[in-house]
Amino acid sequence: MDEDAVFKALADRTRRHLLDALFIRDGQTLTELESGLEMTRFGISKHLRQLEEAGLVTAVRSGRKKLHYLNPVPIRLIHDRWIDKFTEQRIAALTDLKKDLES
């Protein structure tokens, strides 16, 4: 996984909107995804391509349609690497405090 590509993809408001739309209803076409945005099809396609390159979206052809699906794994991997390690100490401190107060 290329973390830089994931962070770059998440840095843009339009791409986050597309991810939110796919979270709400997975498997949307380009036409469905563009309905909530005031942008050209070309612009939306460009954003979707960046999301695909970052591994956050996968596209599957179904007949004449191309359906887009959310892949949350890269976000989870970043969470595990960057967020969990910073919250672990706080949780351990709270656990220790709870034990001390109960003794």
Q: What is residue 19's DSSP assignment?
A: H
What pLDDT is recorded for position 103? 85
Polymer length in residues for the chain: 103
What pLDDT is recorded for position 45? 96
Kindly report, residue by residue over 13-72, the tens digit of the pLDDT. 999 999 999 999 999 999 999 987 899 999 999 999 999 999 999 999 989 999 999 999
Distance from C-alpha of 97 to C-alpha of 95, rounded to nearest angstrom: 5
What pLDDT is recorded for position 36? 76
What pLDDT is recorded for position 87? 78
pTM, 2 dp: 0.81
C-alpha distance from residue 39 to each of 7, 17, 30, 47, 52 (Å): 22, 12, 12, 11, 19
What pLDDT is recorded for position 91? 77
